[in-house]
Structure 1
Amino acid sequence: MRWALRGAPRWRCLPLLLLLLLVTEAGLGTAAALGRRDKLDPLDPSRGGEEFYQVQDSHLYCKKCPAGTYVADHCKEQNGSSKCLPCKEDEYIEYPNDFTKCLGCRTCREDQVELSPCRAVSDTQCACRNGTFCSPDHPCEMCQKCRPRCPENEVELAPCTPHSDRQCGPPTGTFSSSSNNLLVIILALVAAVVVLALLVFCFWKGYCCCSPGDRRDLSRKPYNVVDYMMQQVTRYRSGGVGTQDNIRNEQFSRDQLLPTTPSAPGPEVVVPRTSYPNVKPRRNLVPVQGKDPVTLLRRSFDIFAQDVPCKDWKRFGRALDLLENDIALAEMNDKYSLEPFFQMLNTWQNREGMNASVNTLLETLHQINLGGIAEDISSKLVQQGSFQYEVS
């Protein structure tokens, strides 16, 4: 192969190199696909397939209940079917699940209209009334009025919809900022093509295009093209690259979450647990006397929903050991309000039962580096008169 590359004419080297690259890419893609199929089979419960769930505190796997039903009783044998009962009126579950009860249907607000009623397999669908809208990028706590008309020297580009305001812009044929952006994009693409062509030319000149008069031996180069490709294929087949990267990533995550301790005698070194500077150690909260602790905990969900950023909701739910299916079902509620967060915390409270505590929620925020937010929530709960600091 090296002799053929060295003696081939220049116009024949590039197609051969491209062919080798395509064969290598196809082999790596096949190996990756086989690896993914081997890692997860949705019909194999022992590998965490999506059609089964593990009964809590046991090694028993049961089939999930279909959409529109909930688990009334777990199966008694491995891979068996659970006893499933249909959701009642004004309740639903949209996906296969292992829930012990159905979710409550939403009710459209006064500023919304009902597009479709609640069914056992789908929640109520609501939309803003004519002339109002809610942006899908923000929580929809109230529909906003659309602009009644476009300003002077502008025309309507898109009408008002329940999800977007009326769009206005300059008339067709006039130069705008969008035209300027398009020109910049075209120039950037042309520059990228030129750079890529130069890189291909340099690579071709350096590794593959030896004229018949050039007697240098390619085997002396520090990296021969064919040998390098075969080495990469071998590493991917053996799982070396992906496995080593995964091990490094998992070790890095553990190092970030766990406090570091000194290896030699001396003062203890502790990694800060929050993203807020100068956060004092967390103090436990206890419910005020004379009030129901369960009711106070549920009322605290409102403050958690307002203070925890939306981008951290899923991370917070996973830290509370909620399943991905639990989080997905919570998200099926009104995505443009705080309702998904309430449903997520309700699911957590139902699973924990009497072990559910506001201190668990606050400690979990500390563990995901949101300690400053946890301290703010603690102060608000004390000021609200629902909880008080535990006397040490």
Structure 2
Amino acid sequence: MSYIHLMVVLIWALNPMAAAQSGLELTQTGGSVRNRKQRDISCRENLEYPHDNICCLNCPAGKYVKEYCTGALEKGTCEDCDIDTYTEHDNGLPQCLKCTKCRSDQVTTKTCTITQDTECQCKPGYFCAPDQACEVCKKCSRCKYNEVRVKNCTTTSNMVCETRLPTSSTISGKTPGPVVVIVVAVLGITAALASVYWMRRKLFKRTDTQNNPSGTLKVVVDDQNNRSIEERQNKQNAVLDDTQLYPLLEQTQAENVLIKLVSLNGDESLKKCFELFEELDVHYHNRFFRHIGLSDNAIKSSAHLHPEDRVYELLKVWLEKVGMDADMNDLIKALLYFGQRLSAENIISKAIENGYYEYAENEK
């Protein structure tokens, strides 16, 4: 091969290498930077974003990129987020994010702004564990009668209950002796005889009233000598709530004859009926519980609960306060006192259907 042919071959081989080298130099010297591929662009995280093979500076929180930059290390046109949209951090987003809408079982704790999304939490009486997907809020549990509350229900945790400590007789494991059985039987018979005597006495009184036209039904509205200062104050508050209480009472006296209910399972029947009072009109809650003797402080302490749970908890407080004198008939009378006749009839019907109570013998 001649010298001339050798030179031609070398020039032909070196041309592609020269073109590649010139392209590299062009890139390094700020020439046609746009010829680089997108994967070759490495922008600084949280400071820049890639666009058209260059790095643009981020827009601040609360804004989005309306127009991209035209040169490296420049900031494009940033625009404020519209209503109900936001961006929490510096960004290169072409549009803002939509604000979260709280569900019907939640309440809004923080409203959405252009730099912060909406914050929601479960309504009072409901919860959602933070380590679980909160697709729906769950209703808080309630402690059973053989349990005590250890921890209240919050928006992120359920109520915690523990079983009450057993009595000494349960711990010893001993069964009641013959003497105890006899005593219990005697007490039961005595209670039954007293109940029969009371019902017969009531029947005789009613017969006398019917035979005597001059006899009238008397209801003590407020005996100042038999009420504590706190109860008298609660009564005054109830009158302030509704000036029509006394006319309602007169109407109840004139039109209503109470049906006497007899428990089929002692206190357990009364406790099981508490859930039936959930249908009590919420507008009568405060007045109803004042009427049965609860203090304003006790009533206000349950104001944060769901209406159904509130009725249930306040009836438990009433039971603890009244003790042995607690009577289902007193609750029914209180409903009629406020003209809640339909609720009273529904509760009586359900109490009998569920086998908690029956009509007194002389009322059947």
TM-score normalised according to structure 1 size: 0.30
TM-score normalised according to structure 2 size: 0.32
Higher Rg of the two aligned structures: 2
